[in-house]
Structure 1
Amino acid sequence: MTNRAADLAKIRQALDFAIADENNNAIITQGDSLDQLKFLPDSSVSLILTDPPYHSTKKANIRGDRSFEEDENFLEWIEKFASEWKRVLKMSGTVYVFCSSQMSARLEVLLSKYFRPIAQITWTKPNEPGYDGWKGKMKKEALRTWYPHSERIIMLEHGAYGSWEAYRRSPLGEYLLECRKNAGMSMIHLTELIGEYGRVNRGGAVANWEAGRNIPSPEQYTKLATALEATGKVGKMLDYEDLVRPMQVNKDVEFTDVWDFMSVRPFAGKHPAEKPQDMLMHMIRSSSYPGDIVLDCFAGSGSTGVAAVRLGRRSVCMELDEDWVKRAAHEITNAKIDDQYQEPRRIHHMSKRELALDSLFD
């Protein structure tokens, strides 16, 4: 696997001027995250999971929530982040952006200029029994629309919408197509070499991978990369975990786009927009590999960083407010890896480099 520790070291060096606290696997910075983002190296983070001010809620206790007079001003500000996120996110990366239901449509259209939206998740925000929050207190007769007791999470990946071909082909497919053409090899020849014939056409599984219809397994990618590199016309190909976007769910975890994770009940020192650990961990575990770097540009009290550390990931958390930086630093630096949530590291093609080429081509 690409050395994520080296990636974090480069980020640490780039953000040295803003670091408020740190340990081997986490960095907490203080200051304007948009300014700090510009210093991050290209393709240096694997997952962006962030919760910017919603703007539409106009909460006085959330810094930045009342900073924009018009919706357009807010969207222009978010677009500056999107441009930087696209630059720093690895090809295999995922972006999650929390937002209000009132702004989600406009935000998705804006973000689609830089990424390909692949889901809009509805978090229903249920409360624990005996605690209804504002839903229980507010005067229902005063409502002029449905009470907004949910939040949206926009999920994005690299890519764009366009023609049918551009829509189907993923960044992975574009990369494989380019490598195969550079190697001067036809789909049919490559399919014969790796023995992955598929059931669709003579191009076999290779045609499906390049078209974005499905993705290779780590073992299949090993064979494909080894075959292409053996031509001498292609340099070392990207590691699997830098190329293939993870999406790791099953029947035993939440796999739909409607989530019922319990809201964080008020307590002394709670951040007004704090998200539940089990939801953050679900997102991180599903959309990153062990050891990956998770970036949160609006870290608040550091919940994303804590979830990342508990799952054996690395984190970069940026926060403007000094008081929240102090709590985030305390929470993250004291977080421990939770063994019950650890997964085996996925295989990538470098772990198979000792395969003899003649055995591959038999």
Structure 2
Amino acid sequence: MSTRAQDFEQINIALSDRIRASAPNGILAEGDSLELLRKIPSNTISLILTDPPYHSTKKHNIYGDTQFQEDEHYLEWIETYSSEWHRLLRPNGSIFCFCDSSMSARLEILFSRRFNVLSHIVWTKPNEPGFDGWKGKMKKEALRQWYPHSERIIFAEPAVEGNLFRSTFAQFLRDMRQAAGLSLKELTAMIGAYGKVNHGGAVSNWEAGRNTPSREQYEKVCSAILETGKVKYMPPYEDVIRVFSVNASKEFTDIWTFPSVRPYKGKHPAEKPLAMLEHAIEATTYPGDIVLDCFAGSGSTALAALNLGRRTISIEVDQKWVKAIATRLEVESIKRNGKEYSYQPQENGMSTFVHQLDLFSGVK
């Protein structure tokens, strides 16, 4: 399997004619996201963190939010994206997709065709002191349903048929074990992972997709399979086990409490808080992983990924926001590192910043 750096370079080449800003670990491309997604090589993305138009909110200041007259047309559009997202993700990758509460149930069913939906996250937005927002101003007596003070985030992993829980790792382990000519009991005995009742032990559970091995257990599995001489290579832990790392000091439930972004000059109408995006990225990726946002908006996902030492691919169709993202990343990088940029005109009249050194440090 190729490295993250090799994958990033292949993506850079694939999108080269649409790149408007680039750096050793960040790409900003302009254009229709579906068209550009189809250019990206398969199984190269570790995390998709994206915020497509909600459709149900019908905001004219958000590109695409009023594009569809019927719900079904919107769902068909997302279905097309879902197919591409599944193709692009590494087998151990993850996806976060923001959506409106009124569409989330139907979107979750749509996602379940290709993904294992792991969590239906509710993002609730506490008001900061002195900032009541619409919740404080509206007339409660006029409500005919509960006030929608939250947004939803579908969190999922790629699914594969062939085992109880449609786990990609389960299918991979079964394929490798069978290629090595080992039975469940034989592999279990070789790594010392017998259960009290289940004679297939931990291996049986892993192949059903019930759970996954620790790094130490996986290394034992690799050693046992390679010892047979019938399998020449076993990929590293980071390439087969989906990342998920939280602790008690951070949000670890499916209720996320992050204040929304307060108004400021130049704010994107659907901008998400940087702290929430960093939380999602840190919990579900390794340093150096590639994070994709194909509805980049203000570029917050890119900035969050770069802050954490990840690589980032941003795609945006609205030229206004393409320019805003480029400027934001430039300003943030110079603020941190004092590095210089040079602007070069493009044939289509756009300008691009080309980093002369590093954008952010920390990505290997």
The normalised TM-score by structure 2 is 0.88
* Distance in 1 between residues matched to 2:232 and 2:125, nearest whole Å: 48
1:128 aligns with 2:128: yes
> Amino acid of the residue matched to residue 129 of structure 2?
P
Residue 315 (structure 1) aligns with: 312
Q: Is the 8 A contact 1:22 1:333 kept in 2?
A: no
Q: Is the 8 A contact 2:122 2:153 kept in 1?
A: yes
| 1:334 to 1:197, Cα distance in 2 relative to 1, 3 A | farther
2:154 is paired with a residue whose SS is: strand
Residue 341 (structure 1) aligns with: none
Superposed, 1:67-78 pairs within 5 Å as 67-78=67-78
- CA shift for structure 1 position 285: 0.4
Residue 20 (structure 1) aligns with: 20
* Distance in 2 between residues matched to 1:26 and 1:211, nearest whole Å: 38
The normalised TM-score by structure 1 is 0.88
Deviations, residues 62-91 of structure 1 (Å, cap 9, x unaligned): 111001001011111111100000101000
Residue 144 (structure 1) aligns with: 144
Deviations, residues 156-180 of structure 1 (Å, cap 9, x unaligned): 111168xxx8443521111101110
Unpaired stretches in structure 2, ≥5 consecutive residues = 337-361
1:329 is paired with a residue whose SS is: helix
* Distance in 2 between residues matched to 1:335 and 1:236, nearest whole Å: 42
Q: Is the 8 A contact 1:11 1:41 kept in 2?
A: yes
Q: Is the 8 A contact 1:2 1:239 kept in 2?
A: no
| 1:185 to 1:332, Cα distance in 2 relative to 1, 3 A | same
Q: Is the 8 A contact 2:163 2:209 kept in 1?
A: no
What number of residue pairs does the alignment pair up? Answer: 337
Unpaired stretches in structure 1, ≥5 consecutive residues = 339-343, 346-362
Q: Is the 8 A contact 1:54 1:100 kept in 2?
A: yes
1:325 aligns with 2:327: no
Superposed, 1:1-362 pairs within 5 Å as 3-159=3-159, 166-335=163-332
Give the root-mean-square deviation of aligned CA atoms: 2.0
* Distance in 2 between residues matched to 1:299 and 1:169, nearest whole Å: 30
* Distance in 2 between residues matched to 1:213 and 1:106, nearest whole Å: 26
> Amino acid of the residue matched to residue 238 of structure 1?
P
| 1:139 to 1:271, Cα distance in 2 relative to 1, 3 A | same
* Distance in 2 between residues matched to 1:169 and 1:114, nearest whole Å: 10
* Distance in 1 between residues matched to 2:51 and 2:250, nearest whole Å: 23
Q: Is the 8 A contact 2:50 2:293 kept in 1?
A: yes
* Distance in 1 between residues matched to 2:135 and 2:197, nearest whole Å: 53
> Amino acid of the residue matched to residue 172 of structure 1?
F
